[in-house]
Amino acid sequence: MVTMQATDVIKILIADDHRLMSDAVGATLQAGGEFVVAKVDSREAVEEALVTPGGFDIVMLDVLMPGMIGLESVIDIIKAETKTAVVIFSGSVRPDFVVSAIQNGARGFIPKTLPLQSLAAALRLVRSGQIFLPSDILIGFGEGAAKDLDAKRNPAALTPRELRILTLVAAGKTNKIIAWEMGLSEVTVKMHLRSIFTKLGAHNRTHAVIIAQSKDII
């Protein structure tokens, strides 16, 4: 098990019995210093790891490893550990399984086919309080399920750029800094903020952040 002390890193538990996969993903994530990774290969080991001091920010949960019995096992882990975001991590899973898991508290679905360079961004999104679902995965879920999932992960229908701006606002960044970080003009940032306020029914920046956090949008 990895000893984790830094408070500015994202602590990841990879729960997968495919050693080659977990080693490759873990090495990629830790290379940049932003993530600290521990790996387990069974449901029992997941449950033991989640009660260790310090805990984890995100569990990447393979649903087919030893000890897992379908959706019931996933829900048990989600309900038992409310402070850790649980993300389904699988190479093959039915759309209705993902829908049910998210409805029961899972914070997204990361397919094992996701490019490694996209994985860090997906985990940052989950860490910020949002639900990650690849857009191409939503297409395959059917119109009804896709709308339900999209509404759940973003009930205010904020665009990806608006979500990013709101996340930066919540982090205390000024319009000038947000504009610089996103490669936008301050005027454009202000226009997006007005759109955010309208969609959320907010009066100002602070009010928008409070509303978004209360609805688990960020």
Token representation of residue 47: 């449950």
Q: How far apart are CA 186 and CA 192, in angstroms?
A: 10
Q: How far apart are CA 215 and CA 88, in angstroms?
A: 22
What DSSP character marks residue 17? S
Q: Is domain 10-153 in CATH 3.40.190.10, yes or no?
A: no
Q: How far apart are CA 125 and CA 68, in angstroms?
A: 26
* Residue 205: band (very low, low, confident or very high) from pLDDT cuts 50, 70, 90: confident
Residue type for 32, please?
G
Contacts of 63 (CB under 8 A, 6+ apart): 70, 73, 74, 88, 90, 93, 97
**Segments making up each domain of the chain, as ranges:** 10-153, 160-214
Query: Does the structure show a pLDDT above 70 at 196?
Result: yes
Q: What is the pLDDT of residues 58-88, one digit of tens each?
A: 999 998 888 888 888 888 888 876 688 999 9
Query: Does the structure show a pLDDT above 90 at 27?
Result: yes
The pLDDT of residue 24 = 92
- Out of 3.30.930.10, 3.30.1330.10, 1.10.10.10, 3.40.470.10, which CATH number does the structure's domain 160-214 have? 1.10.10.10
Question: Which is higher by pLDDT, 199 or 151?
Answer: 199
Residue 129's nearest CA partner among 81, 172, 90, 167 is 167
Query: Does the structure show a pLDDT above 50 at 1?
Result: no
